[in-house]
Amino acid sequence: MSASTESRGAQLVLNIYVGLFCLYLFLPLAVMSAAAFNAFDYPSVTQWHGFTLKWFVALAHDQRLLQGLYNSVMVALGVIAVSIPTGLAGALILTRLGERSGTLLYSVLVSPVLTPGIILGISSLIFWREFGVPGGLFVAVMAQSSFIASYAMLLFLARLQRQDRTLEEAALDLGAGHFLVFRRITLPFLAPTAFTAAVVAFLQSFENYNTTVFAVGGDWTLVTEIASRLRFGLSPVINVVGVIFVALTLLAATAYVVLKGKPAR
Partner 1 sequence: MGSLARAYGRPLAALIAAITVVWVLVLVLVPLGAMIEQSLWWRESKGDTSLAIDRLYNDMSTLQLDRSSATDPARQAALDAQIAEKQAQATALEAQEKNPPKVYGFDNFTRISELHLYIFARTILYALMVTLLALVVCYPVAYSVALASGPRKAVILTVALIVPYAINELLRVYAWLMILDYRGVINGVLGWFGLVDLDNRGWIPFLENPSAVFVAMIYTYVLFMVFPMVNTLETLDRNQIEAARDLGASSFRIHRRVIIPHAKPGIAVGCIMTFMLSAGSYSVPQIMTRGQGGDWFSQLVYRQFYESNNWNMGSAYAVSLLVVCTAFILIMMRLFGVGLRDIAK
Q: Is 174 in the site for partner 1 (CB under 8 A)?
A: no
* Binder of partner 1 out of 39, 107, 164, 191 (CB under 8 A): 107
Question: Directed axis angle between helix 236-264 and helix 222-231, to 10°?
Answer: 130
Residue 83 CB contacts under 8 Å (≥ 6 apart), including other chains = 145, 148, 149, 151, 152, 197, 201
Mark the segment that binds partner 1 (CB under 8 A) among 49-57, 61-69, 190-198, 257-265.
Answer: 257-265
Amino acid letter for position 149: A
Q: Is 134 in the site for partner 1 (CB under 8 A)?
A: no
Q: Is 154 in the site for partner 1 (CB under 8 A)?
A: yes
In whole angstroms, how close is the CB of 7 to partner 1 at the nearest point? Answer: 8
Which residues, 199 to 228, sit near partner 1 by CB under 8 A? 203, 207, 209-210, 213-214, 223, 226-227
Contact 68, 82 (CB under 8 A): no
In whole angstroms, how close is the CB of 63 to partner 1 at the nearest point? Answer: 20
In whole angstroms, how close is the CB of 132 to partner 1 at the nearest point? Answer: 14
Q: Say if residue 102 is exposed, middle or buried (CB neighbours under 10 Å; 0-12, 13-18, 19+).
A: middle
Residue 168 CB contacts under 8 Å (≥ 6 apart), including other chains = 181, 185, 186
* Binder of partner 1 out of 80, 125, 190, 201 (CB under 8 A): 125
Q: Is 167 in the site for partner 1 (CB under 8 A)?
A: no
Binding residues with partner 1: total (CB under 8 A): 99
Can you name the residues that pair with 38 across neighbouring β-strands?
51
